[in-house]
Amino acid sequence: MTQLGYLEGDTCGRDGCEGVVESHRVVNCSCHISPPCGACTAPRGYCEACGWEESEDPTPPLESYKGKPWQPPEPRPLDPSKVDWRFVPHTHFSMIKDGVYPPHMSREEVEREVRGTFGGRFEQFGNGRFKYIAYTD
Ligand SMILES: [Zn+2]
Ligand SMILES: [Zn+2]
């Protein structure tokens, strides 16, 4: 079976093609926001000699789909001996701080700990647990 080229500099090899695989330049790279970005991970190989485009190749079956479905890692357990929370995305302007607090603390004391720069409000508070909507903007 012929070896097909995918990476820049490989020999193409499609139907005996002797062209050299090149890569399209990355456009609209947004790695500064979340690397690696879609533009950088999208297939970019192409061969000028035969017109092959990696992005037009049928997607190869992914081995990983045969195994167990991917599970998100267990979240870190919260520590109820202090005010402790994890962030849950809420809207563009706020985050939910979903957390725990020691029972001896009052709502005001807990709020002093969780209130961010832009303030916020409790959506739920009681029995050692709270949800605090924190404004981020
Ligand atoms: Zn990028
Ligand atoms: Zn080719």
**pLDDT value at position 51?**
96
Residue 47 and residue 5 in one domain: yes
- Tell which of 59, 76, 95 closes a domain: 59
Which ligand is closest to the CA of 14, given by its number? 2
Which ligand is closest to the CA of 35, given by its number? 1
pLDDT at 2 over 70: no
**pLDDT value at position 103?**
93
Confirm whether 65 is domain-assigned: no
Whether 6 and 60 have beta carbons less than 8 Å apart is answered as no
Number of domain units in the chain: 2
Which ligand is closest to the CA of 33, given by its number? 1
Confirm whether 19 is domain-assigned: yes
Q: Which residue has the higher pLDDT, 116 or 9?
A: 9
Confirm whether 68 is domain-assigned: no
Confirm whether 44 is domain-assigned: yes
Confirm whether 27 is domain-assigned: yes
122 C-alpha to center of ligand 2: Å?
61
Confirm whether 51 is domain-assigned: yes
- Tell which of 59, 76, 101 closes a domain: 59
- Tell which of 59, 74, 105 closes a domain: 59
Please give the Cα distance from 119 to 134 (Å, whole number). 6
Confirm whether 73 is domain-assigned: no
- Which has the closest alpha carbon to 5: 49, 46, 48? 46
Q: Is the pTM of this model over 0.85?
A: no
Count of CB atoms within 10 A of residue 47's CB? 22
98 C-alpha to center of ligand 1: Å?
32
55 C-alpha to center of ligand 1: Å?
16
Which ligand is closest to the CA of 21, given by its number? 2
Going by pLDDT thresholds of 50, 70 and 90, the confidence category of residue 27 is confident
Encode pLDDT of 58-84 as tens digits.
765 555 455 566 666 777 789 999 999
51 C-alpha to center of ligand 2: Å?
6
15 C-alpha to center of ligand 2: Å?
8
Count of CB atoms within 10 A of residue 30's CB? 13
The residue segments making up the domain with residue 103 are 84-135
Residue 2 and residue 53 in one domain: yes
Residue 50 and residue 101 in one domain: no
Residues with CB under 5 A from ligand 2 (ion): 12, 14, 17, 19, 47, 49-50, 52
